[in-house]
Amino acid sequence: MSPIPGIVAVNTFREAVRDRVLYNLIFFALLMMGTAVLVGGVSIGIERDVIVNLGLTAISVFGILMAIFIGVGLVHKEIEKRTLYSLLAKPVQRWQFLVGKFGGLVLTLTVNTALMMVGLAAALFYVTRRFERSDGTIVVAIYFILLELALITSLALLFSCFSTPMLSTLYTLGIYIAGVFAPNIRDIGVVTASPVARWMATAVYYLLPNFHNFNVMAAAAHQETIPAALIWQNTLYAALYIAVVLLSAAAIFSSRDLK
Amino acid sequence: MSGGNNTRVVRVALMAVPALLISLTFLQQRIDVSAAPLQNEKPELMLRSGAMVKKLSLGYDPLLADIYWTRAVQYFGERVGLRGATFELLGPLLDITTTLDPQLMVAYRFGAIFLSEPAPAGAGRPDLAVELVKKGIAANPDQWRLYGDLGLIYSIHLKDYQKAAKAYLEGSKNPNAQIYMKAMAGAVAQKGDSLETSKLIWGEVYSTTDDAQIKKRARQHLESLDAVIDLKNLNQTSETYWEKFGHYPATIQELRDAGLAEGKLEDPEGYPYVMGAYGVPQLNPESTIVMERDQQLPQRNH
């Protein structure tokens, strides 16, 4: 197997660290510390829920912002700085470059998310003074967020292959929002009397990346057990969808005239 | 070399992407089944203090009030009529809504009815309803209808006719108040527990509200009261029948045949009344009119 995507990935990660992307962790730490101290005074009886909900929301929001705003610039920046041409002059294929860029940003997001998880755990321990077995659900919720971030990264990369960063941001954000509301789109089909509308709603439901699948924050806050099947199914779903998006991105990028 | 590779990538993508999308459809169906147990939304309110929410609203409190009001109506709508459903968040939701927007009259009026109604039609908390309406009166002293709502809670749910009469009287002092407020004060003070007074109160609620849910509930009360009045009259006729024939009628038709009753003899929904054991008339089993326990006729045992 070619080591090229791995080399590109490591360099993308280094570049992200150099660009001080991980500075967002300071905001996250401050948010968690502030909440942990204040939560007792304003949320009587549901301190744990507030910490978990806020922590998971922050991990998700920070991650999504990073995935989109860095993701849309991954290809565009290389073209603008003309570094892509010297890279492609070497025995590096375009799809390898894309996969490497994707891997690098996912690696950055994984490190970022892991560090935020440590922050959340610390805040949770400060508030509850103990960890419980059921807190494992929070780890699953964070893993699902990471799958979601990987999928968003692939989408951002896809759009950046043929559009400007501004438009790519809008497209990615649009697809993300539509994907979050995928079940509502399906429900529109259920309540409508028109079979065409029902068919269309169902088709859109299955075609859109279903980001609703990855949201188990409420279950984590209420210490509910997440079905084991859902973990592998969501993993497989993310892997397959990322494959679809990266293949499409590779096809578009490969057929693009870069001269 | 590069051109050939690029073409191969495009070909692979054209073949693989549709196949992967079909696989994803089947996988999504499996995920829907697995995730179904997690989809039950838990009712929760992270911040129960209206004052705190107002501070956090950064000046957008009217908009936030609308959002909370919508949430309150949804919360109520999801649960109303369900067996075993509770409404423990209805009070806090309405409290936050009215703290964010103290002039949101519909929230007070909605709370007055549905916080005080017994389960499963409401939260069964007339104490919270009184608190909410008093808060509304303090913020909107010109809104004389709120005094009417306060009178309703005291007379219908708390059976405190003195306080109810006082509330109606207080409201009637407002120069804009309608004349019935004074009449209501008198009626409640004299015969607060009578069916006629209850009909008067619910009739006013029905004719003065714009809220569809409140209107519907008031209409249900009016229909139920009409049915109670009909059944009481029929029961009296049944007694007359017993005095005349020495036994109770087995059917409503027997009352007609004896010349003691005439007309349609049906409830406001159009279902004919039926005769129960020992000549006690009852609602038709198919009727959806609900009578409160204290409105039901006592059963005879002879």
pLDDT digits (tens, 9 = 90+) for B3-25: 677 788 888 888 899 999 999 99
Structural domain tally of chain B?
2
Confidence of residue B245 (pLDDT cuts 50, 70, 90): confident
B128 & B236 share domain: no
Helix/strand/coil for A72: coil
B contacts of A241 (beta carbons < 8 Å): 20, 24
**Do B24 and A213 count as a contact with CB atoms less than 8 A apart?**
no
Q: Report pLDDT for A146.
A: 96
Average pLDDT over residues B160-188: 85
Chain A residue with the nearest C-alpha to that of B8: A251
B contacts of A140 (beta carbons < 8 Å): none
- Sign of the C-alpha dihedral computed for residues A8, A13, A18 and A24 taken in this order: positive
pLDDT at B56 over 80: no
Residues A66 and A112: beta-carbon distance below 8 Å? yes
Q: Which of A43, A237, A254 sits opposite B10 (nearest CB)?
A: A254
**Do B49 and A230 count as a contact with CB atoms less than 8 A apart?**
no
Chain B residue with the nearest C-alpha to that of A47: B46
Last residue of a domain, one of B92, B125, B140: B140
Chain B residue with the nearest C-alpha to that of A250: B9
**Do A247 and B12 count as a contact with CB atoms less than 8 A apart?**
yes
B30 at interface of A, judged by CB pairs closer than 8 A = yes
Q: Report pLDDT for B28.
A: 92
Q: How big is the A-B interface in CB pairs under 8 Å?
A: 93
Angle, CA B181 vertex, CA B215 and CA B143 arms, to 5°: 70
Winning range, highest mean pLDDT, from A140-144, B205-209, B284-288:
A140-144
Confidence of residue B293 (pLDDT cuts 50, 70, 90): low
Q: Report pLDDT for B298.
A: 65
- The better pLDDT of the pair B205, B57 is held by B205
DSSP codes of every residue in B100-116:
H-TT-HHHHHHHHHHTT
**DSSP-assigned beta bridge partners for residue B272:** B266
Residue B119 falls inside a structural domain: yes
Last residue of a domain, one of B98, B113, B140: B140
**Do B21 and A207 count as a contact with CB atoms less than 8 A apart?**
yes
How far, in Å, CA of A253 to CA of A90, rounded?
Answer: 17
Q: Which of B13, B24, B48 sits opposite A240 (nearest CB)?
A: B24
Last residue of a domain, one of B81, B111, B140: B140
B23 & B135 share domain: yes
Query: B126 — phi, psi (to 5°)?
Result: -60, -25
Residue B260 falls inside a structural domain: yes
Instruction: Identify the weakest region by mean pLDDT among A199-213, B30-44, B111-125.
Output: B30-44
For chain B, give the mean pLDDT: 83
Residue pLDDT, tens place only, A220-247: 877 888 999 999 999 999 999 999 999 9
**Do A218 and B10 count as a contact with CB atoms less than 8 A apart?**
no
**Do B31 and A42 count as a contact with CB atoms less than 8 A apart?**
no
Instruction: Identify the weakest region by mean pLDDT among A51-55, B35-39, B98-102.
Output: B35-39
Q: Report pLDDT for B297.
A: 66
How far, in Å, CA of B96 to CA of A161, rounded?
Answer: 48
Average pLDDT over residues B31-60: 69
Domain that holds residue B39: 13-140
Which of B40, B37, B41 minimizes the C-alpha distance to A230? B37
Exposure b/e, A111-132, CB count within 10 A at least 16 = b: bbbebbbebbbebbeebeeeee
Whole-prediction pTM: 0.60
**Do A210 and B10 count as a contact with CB atoms less than 8 A apart?**
no
**Do B20 and A94 count as a contact with CB atoms less than 8 A apart?**
no
Residue pLDDT, tens place only, A32-70: 778 776 765 555 556 777 788 888 888 998 899 999 999
Q: Report pLDDT for B130.
A: 95
A contacts of B52 (beta carbons < 8 Å): 42
Distance of residue B259 Cα from the nearest chain A Cα, in angstroms: 53
How far, in Å, CA of A107 to CA of A102, rounded?
Answer: 9
Q: Report pLDDT for A143.
A: 96
Residue B223 falls inside a structural domain: no
Residues B137 and B102: beta-carbon distance below 8 Å? no
Residue B22 falls inside a structural domain: yes
Residue B99 falls inside a structural domain: yes
Q: Which of A234, A236, A250 sits opposite B9 (nearest CB)?
A: A250
Q: Name residues whose C-beta falls within 8 Å of residue B115's C-beta, 6 or more positions apart in sequence.
A: B87, B90, B91, B94, B122, B123, B125, B126, B128, B129, B132
**Do A218 and B24 count as a contact with CB atoms less than 8 A apart?**
no
B250 at interface of A, judged by CB pairs closer than 8 A = no
Residue B69 falls inside a structural domain: yes
Average pLDDT over residues B249-263: 85
For chain A, residues with pLDDT lower than 50 are none
Residue B33 falls inside a structural domain: yes
Q: Report pLDDT for A123.
A: 87
Chain B residue with the nearest C-alpha to that of A248: B13
Q: Report pLDDT for B270.
A: 87
B123 & B236 share domain: no
Residue B291 falls inside a structural domain: yes
pLDDT at B134 over 90: yes
B242 & B136 share domain: no
> Of A44, A84, A151, A206, which to mutate for an interface test with B (greatest number of B Cβ within 10 Å)?
A206
Whole-number Cα distances in Å, A132 to A144, A215, B81 = 20, 21, 38
Q: Report pLDDT for B1.
A: 43
B136 & B248 share domain: no
